[in-house]
Amino acid sequence: MLEILTRGFRDVKQYLQGMRTLTEENLGEALKMIRVSLLEADVEFQVTRSFLERVKEQAIGEIVQVRVKHKDRKLSVSPGDHFIRLCHDELVRLMGPEDSGLNLKSRPSSVMMVGLQGSGKTTTAAKLARYLAKNGKKPLLVAADIYRPAAVDQLKKLGSDLGIPVYFRENMSPPELCRGALDEIQSYGCDVAIFDTAGRLTIDEALMDELQAIQEVAAPQNVLLVCDAMIGQESVNIARAFNEKIRLTGFILTKLDGDARGGAAISIKEATGVPIKFVGMGEAMDRLEEFRPDGLASRILGFGDIVGLVKDFEEVVDEKKAEEDAKRMLSGNFTLTDFLNQIKTIKKLGPLQDVLEKLPFFPKGIPDDAKVDDYELVRMESIINSMTPAERRNPQIVDASRVRRIARGSGREEREVLELLRKFNDMRGFLSAMGGGPVSGKWKKRIKGLRRIFGGGLGDLMTGEDEAVGPDNPFGLPPVKKGKQVSKKLLEKQRKKSKQARRDRKKTKKK
């Protein structure tokens, strides 16, 4: 997401590293690099020029000293840090201020969704309905797109999945549908109508006339343009055309998670004066986020978005239950059922790549070896679901025959089952150590290192022994000689013994 912009600003910071001051010369070179990056990202030309002029105006003449550590000298930031801070503030100003609120004071209220075909208007209408329902409103979806094949059916299906009513009447024009929905909204027990209007492949007079007619008869308090973030500065032209005809109150940018450039997000508010209200970050119904200029600016500059990540966690995590689970895990009572619940929670946060991008640990971009496969969570979930309740509570009982059965039941290979058990036992050992429980094997050295880092703040973690589960028995597979790690050879040996035992039993029965 936004890789082109992030790479450009990262290159500028590296260029300014080691320089003692911002001069006309190095500032000019830095601005030139930023200009190339912005234009590559398809930021509108006038917006690019305005951005560079304001950054230059703030930066010129300032003397920025290199950071020092002497107690008698004043600490200051490096030129690169200072320049990036100026860029961050200006990006926030370009895209902000933060304004995700909708005008829902009147009863009933209404929101008209407009946009071109293919921008994700119908799906976004359903996402917005879910968002409003979660925030205490009672939305009614209105199927006012009577031209696109299956548009009404699509909205009805989305509404059914979300438990939100959909209004539609045969043989009525879009303006009549919107007016009728407002007249009947109380009979549905709703207080907000969301009009899913028709789109066109291009802007034409017929489209605008119909939208103006809806405005006249339904008088929506909110008119939101749904715009595809991946079309770059063309979104600015579309936004201007709509705003001239129907007075927009906000934008919803869709497909921002798949946009490597980010030109639309930076340009559209500055060019039109209309705020961005929400951004679509995926296809799932819960992937509509309130737009935060500061968060997006931080991600563009490679600083992550911790505030946004915390909000995501608050959306999917029950705080009280999470606290109870944490206490139990740190006490050493961590089971595969808990592990499965954690996997489900992580999946609710969205794509793992998106979660990593919100962490401030990758200013140079996420390295290839740190990139994750979302399907890995699906594989682990299928393996755990193929276990019995007893096996989830006590993985130590999982022997070679059980590994074979679990692998068949989940459609995975035996080595994948063993790998999951290894990861689980490593995690359980670490959590137990962090909670002050018994520590053994490799965790002694690791916890000692953590104690040195945190100054003993982890408590007394070096007491007790626990050899039953740990690195000497990473899979919990009895029978195993103490101190030896389970290998493929041992599993094969156990498998042959099991086969031989079955043959012997069959021979005994025949006799």
pLDDT tens digits, one per residue of 255-279: 887 665 667 788 888 888 899 999 8
321 labeled binding residue: no
198 labeled binding residue: yes
> CA dist 440 to 460, 462, 470, 474, Å?
14, 9, 7, 12
Q: Is the pTM of this model over 0.85?
A: no
Cβ atoms 222, 194 nearer than 8 A: no
3-state secondary structure of 251: strand
Residue 362 or 190, more confident = 190
Q: How far apart are CA 117 and CA 388, in angstroms?
A: 49
Give DSSP secondary structure letters for 258-300: G-SS-HHHHHHHHHH-PPEEEEE-SSSTT-EEE--HHHHHHHH
pLDDT tens digits, one per residue of 294-329: 888 887 777 766 666 776 767 767 767 777 777 777
119 labeled binding residue: yes
Cβ atoms 283, 252 nearer than 8 A: no
3-state secondary structure of 11: helix
Q: How far apart are CA 362 and CA 145, in angstroms?
A: 44
pLDDT at 497: 73
pLDDT tens digits, one per residue of 223-250: 999 998 888 778 888 899 899 888 899 9
422 labeled binding residue: no
User: Does position 443 have pLDDT exceeding 70, yes or no?
Assistant: no
Q: How far apart are CA 186 and CA 380, in angstroms?
A: 47
368 labeled binding residue: no
pLDDT at 369: 57
456 labeled binding residue: no
461 labeled binding residue: no
Lowest mean pLDDT among 157-161, 237-241, 344-348, 465-469: 465-469
User: Does position 83 have pLDDT exceeding 70, yes or no?
Assistant: yes
116 labeled binding residue: yes
Q: Going from the N-terminus, what domains does the chain have, and what CATH number goes with each?
A: 3-95 (1.20.120.140), 109-312 (3.40.50.300), 316-495 (1.10.260.30)
pLDDT at 100: 72
120 labeled binding residue: yes
Cross-strand bridge partners of residue 457: none
215 labeled binding residue: no
50 labeled binding residue: no
18 labeled binding residue: no
Residue found by looking up tokens 């022994």 in the block? 465
Quick one: CA torsion of 255, 253, 267, 310, rounded to 10 degrees? Answer: -90
pLDDT at 409: 92
Q: How confident is the model at residue 341 (pLDDT cuts 50, 70, 90)?
A: confident
496 labeled binding residue: no
Q: What proportions of the chain, in percent to the nearest 5, are helix, strand and coil?
A: 55, 10, 35
